Amino acid sequence: MAATDRTALALFVVIALLAFALGIHFARKNAPESSAPVEGMLWPSPPRLEAFMLDGADGKPLTEEVLAGKWTLLFFGFTHCPDVCPTTLSTLREVTSLLKDSPEFAKNGQVLFVSVDPARDAPADLAQYVGHFDRSFRAATAPPARLAALTSQLGILHTRVKLGSGEDYTVDHTASVLLIGPGLERLAVFSAPHAAPDLAARIRQIIEFLQD
Amino acid sequence: MKMAPILLPLLLAGSLAEACEGLVVERQWIREAPPGARVMAGYAELRNEASSLLVINGVESPGYFEHTMIHETQLVEGRARMAPRETLEIAQAATLSLAPGGLHLMLMQPVSDLALGAEIPLTLQCGESRTEVRFLVRASAP
Ligand SMILES: [Cu+2]
């Protein structure tokens, strides 16, 4: 390599690094700030949900298209989860009932439960599981790679942990409830623990804020 | 039976060990399992009316669940994790609450479907002593 080539390469590397650092700087500057009108809301620049494809409990593929035009409350869990998952799904049933007087949510609201334990939760079995809480609830799961296409973009973590000496395991998982807007905007992340009146109030505020 | 007759009503049929001293169990319930769920959770208020520390070191329900544990759900940075607990310690005159999102009895692999309204005997172990309590299967907390 000639000396001038090496200088050119070095210059290129320096410029690339500078551009990268500047990029980070501006990305940070434009990141959603604490100016969000509602706690948990990702505002003013909510990230957009990217394409994914899960296996719906109804036997059909469940893609981002199922969320388009809807206000979706999204929760991740698994059926061998006797405490947090049923508690949260019961809370979400209460939330949807509290939001019956929001014409927008009553018309276009939905709840989607995604199992992060596809090894034990077959899509078809999830229909009965969520139906136990509310017949309108949707559910889906997918083999690890397709599941990750959704969980990784949303920052949903899930890890298998052995229980006792047998084959049993549990899954540590992010217990947040996410609100996805009709334009597939990731509008909010509500952290656990969840209380129905508080969740309903915050969702109502976000819908009203966006519809003003 | 070496128990004094006055203690007999405190014991449930079939249990030969002494009851956990001072243990009073109230508002006990098991959350109804959605169809297909192979794991359930039991909740209760545990009060210690004895004049010393009460230590519960196990739970069992042979004939109803194949595997039972004491668990605690912990929320760490937004993540829920269920961690086994060796013991539950209840100070004199104190009440310990096993409630959704926290401490619970982890009831795995029910032998049969346990319907709403069923009463399930669970045995709490305190060293050599045992207290059997009937837990009601309910949709939500009493
Ligand atoms: Cu548990």
Residue pLDDT, tens place only, A148-162: 999 999 999 999 999
Contacts 24+ apart (CB under 8 A), A141-145: A141/A54, A141/A55, A141/A114, A141/A115, A141/A116, A141/A117, A142/A53, A142/A54, A142/A55, A142/A118, A143/A118, A144/A118
How far B38 CA lies from chain A's nearest CA (Å)?
6
**pLDDT score at B116:** 95
Q: Is B93 on the interface with A (CB under 8 A)?
A: no
Domain count, chain B: 1
Tell me the torsion sign for CA atoms A149, A151, A152, A157.
Answer: negative
Q: Do B79 and A128 count as a contact with CB atoms less than 8 A apart?
A: no
pLDDT at A5 over 70: no
Which ranges of chain B have pLDDT less than 50?
A: 1-4, 7-14
**pLDDT score at B9:** 46
Q: Give the whole-angstrom CA distance, residue A201 versus residue A110.
A: 16
**pLDDT score at B41:** 98
Q: Is B40 on the interface with A (CB under 8 A)?
A: yes
**pLDDT score at B13:** 46
A interface with B, Cβ–Cβ below 8 Å: 79-84, 86-87, 90, 125, 128-133, 157, 161, 163-164, 166, 168, 170, 172-176, 191-193
Per-chain mean pLDDT for chain A: 88
**pLDDT score at A17:** 52
Q: Where are the domains of chain A?
A: 1-31, 53-211
Mean pLDDT of A169-195: 96
The alpha-carbon radius of gyration of chain A (Å, integer) is 21
**pLDDT score at B2:** 46
Residues 6+ apart with CB under 8 A from A47: A185, A186
Q: In CATH, what number is assigned to the domain containing residue B97?
A: 2.60.40.1890
Question: b or e along B125-142 (b: 16 or more beta carbons within 10 Å of the residue's beta carbon)?
Answer: bbeebbbbbebebbeeee
What CATH code would you report for A53-211? 3.40.30.10
Q: Residue A28 — pLDDT band, cuts 50, 70, 90?
A: very low
B102: domain range? 4-138
Of all residues in chain A, what percent carry a pLDDT higher than 90?
77
User: Which residues sit opposite A54 in a β-bridge?
Assistant: A62
Mean pLDDT of A94-120: 97
Token duo for residue B135: 């837990």
Residues of B in contact with A79 (CB under 8 A): 34, 36-38
Residues 6+ apart with CB under 8 A from A63: A51, A52, A53, A54
Q: Do A192 and B80 count as a contact with CB atoms less than 8 A apart?
A: yes
pTM of the model: 0.83
Q: Do A87 and B101 count as a contact with CB atoms less than 8 A apart?
A: yes
Q: Which of A39, A83, A128, A165 to mutate to test the interface with B (most CBs of B within 10 A)?
A: A83
pLDDT at A24 over 50: no
Higher pLDDT, B55 or A16: B55
pLDDT tens-digit profile of A36-63? Answer: 889 999 989 999 999 999 999 999 999 9
pLDDT tens-digit profile of A124-143? Answer: 999 999 999 999 999 999 99
Q: What DSSP string describes A107-153?
A: HHEEEEEEES-TTT--HHHHHHHHHTT-TT-EEEE--HHHHHHHHHH
Q: Residue A16 — pLDDT band, cuts 50, 70, 90?
A: low
Closest-CA residue of A relative to B141 is A87
How far B84 CA lies from chain A's nearest CA (Å)?
8
- DSSP-based helix, strand, coil % in chain B, nearest 5: 5, 55, 40
